[in-house]
Structures are given as structure tokens and as C-alpha cells.
Amino acid sequence: MTGQSFSSASTEQPLVLNWTNVIFFSTVHLLALLAPWFFSWSAFGVMLTLHWLFGSLGICLGYHRLLTHRSFQVPKALEYTFGFLGALAMQGGPIFWVAGHRLHHAFTEDVEKDPYSARRGFWWSHILWILYPRDQFFSTDTYYRYAPDLARDPFYLWLDRYFLLLQLPIGLLLYAIGGWSFVVYGVFVRIVLLWHTTWLINSATHLFGNRTFDTEDGSRNLWWIALLAFGEGWHNNHHAYPNVAKAGWKWWQIDVTWWAIQTLKTLGIARKVVMPPVQAESIK
């Protein structure tokens, strides 16, 4: 899909390319390409650490399994901590992210109602839905309608408004510790890596892989995405039982995010952890 706009057979209003988004995402990707000139093992280690902290604990555990699906409960202060880590991932504020993902589950793969429907093609569900934003999915009315529990909370409202600015103190701290090498890897490489691992859940795991459950959508289990995305690649399991706290059900289905939840559960911090139903586990 190229050019300033394109039409969909099922969409009356043409989708228009948002140049602000194009410039922003292109700039971050170009800055990440500076990585070979700023490489150091310590910077690479910082990137991996922040990738896990903001990706697994922030997005997968915080935004996804805790805030979107409420698959377990933790004390409010810890919930806020996970939400804050998710905001540091620079994938949008919690209200935006949660509302969009709840829409995805409510209308999975519907070309009109699913923000990143895989039926529009791999690249649409991967990134084009952001570059050609549809008004109904990028409005505060939609956010508040599908995430009213978060929209009533002043802390999540604040995160939704200022999540972009939170990258500034991270960048300044990394520069103070390790100079530009730490900034390039700890900010730009980390952001781009996490963007694409998250987007692959929307795109690749709805097109490729195996199916354990006969869901009405095209969700798949894809092992290599699970490795990249901290367990989220067991996507067919997740779509079959979205409120279950674990995505990897078999012993060999690595689910790093579940390990963190299980640790919290063992310590008595996570409560009301939703586990797979017995009849579903027998299908495995």
C-alpha cells in the first residue's frame, strides 16, 4: 500500500496517511540504525534489561494481562508500577493501549471494528493501522468507552497524557551513566525492538503457526514469537481463553511473563490468578 491514501473495499471513507506518524516512527527507526557505530556490550546489556523491564513486566504483564484482561490482581501500588513501566515502553498510554486491545478481542479480525485486523493483511495489522489511523480508534471517546475502569483513574489519565515525555528522563539518565552509546541502545534500539515484537503478535500470530483450539478467529501459536515477546506468541491459547493469566500451557511453551506472575502468586502478592479450566487443559 503506497501513496498518500488508499481505499478499502469495506471502508466508505478513504484511509489517509498520517505524515506526523510516518515522520515520528521513521525518525526513531533511523536513530536505532546508529547502533553499529555506538556498540558496546554494556549498552547492549542495558537494552536487553530495559527490553525485559518495559516489555515483559510493562506491556505483557502490566498493560496486557493485568490491565486489559484482569487475569490477576495485585495491590494498587504495584499495579500502578506495572502501568508506569508499560508507559515507559512508548507504545501509547494505558487507556489507549487497553481500549484498543479490548476492541481487538471483542471484534477479532473484523475489518471494520478490529483496529489491527489481520484480514486486512500482514502489513496492516503490523504497522499500517498506525500510519493510516482511523478516527474511531484514535479518539478519547473510544478509549474511555472500552477502558472506563482506567479512564476514571487520575494516574492512568496522567500516563495517557504524558507517556511520551517520560522518555526524556530515561534518556538523560542513560546519557549520564554511559553516554550516547547507552542512549542509542537504551532508548532507540530498545523502542524499535519492542515495537516490532509487539506488532508481530498482531500480524504474524494471526497468520502463521499452529492451532490448539478451534477459535472463530485465525489466531495461531508461534514459538519464535513467544521467545521474542515474552510468551505472548502462544496466541491461539490466549484467544481461546483471553482472561487466563498464562499464555504458554504446555511445559515446553516458554512464557517468561507467566514466570513473573507465578512468582508474585507464590509470594502471596498476586491474587485471584485465573488459571486454564480443567477441561481446556485436557485438550493440550
pLDDT in tens, 55-112: 999 999 999 999 999 999 999 999 999 999 999 999 999 999 999 999 999 999 999 9
Number of domains within the chain: 1
Could you tell me if residue 23 is inside a domain? no
Segment holding 5, helix H or strand E: strand 5-6
User: CA-based angle 266:244:121, to the nearest 5?
Assistant: 135
132 to 97, 128, 178, 248: CA distances (angstroms): 17, 6, 37, 33
| Number of residues that make up the chain | 284
Percent of the chain at pLDDT exceeding 90: 89
CB 68 within 8 A of CB 79: no
Pairwise CA distance, residues 32 & 279, whole Å: 46
Pairwise CA distance, residues 237 & 247, whole Å: 6
Per-residue pLDDT tens over the stretch 137-166: 888 888 899 999 999 999 999 999 999 999
Tell me which residue range forms the domain holding 86. Answer: 38-281
Could you tell me if residue 173 is inside a domain? yes
Could you tell me if residue 12 is inside a domain? no
Q: What is the pTM of this model?
A: 0.93
Asked if residue 4 has pLDDT above 50, the reply is: no
Could you tell me if residue 14 is inside a domain? no
Could you tell me if residue 18 is inside a domain? no
275 to 51, 80, 142, 272: CA distances (angstroms): 27, 23, 30, 9
Could you tell me if residue 11 is inside a domain? no
Strand segments, DSSP code E, in 182-281 are: none
Segment holding 16, helix H or strand E: strand 15-16
Could you tell me if residue 28 is inside a domain? no
The pair phi, psi for residue 234, each rounded to 5°, is: -80, 65
Could you tell me if residue 84 is inside a domain? yes
CB 283 within 8 A of CB 84: no
Pairwise CA distance, residues 269 & 263, whole Å: 9
Pairing of strands 15-16, 5-6: antiparallel
3-state DSSP call for residue 238?
A: helix
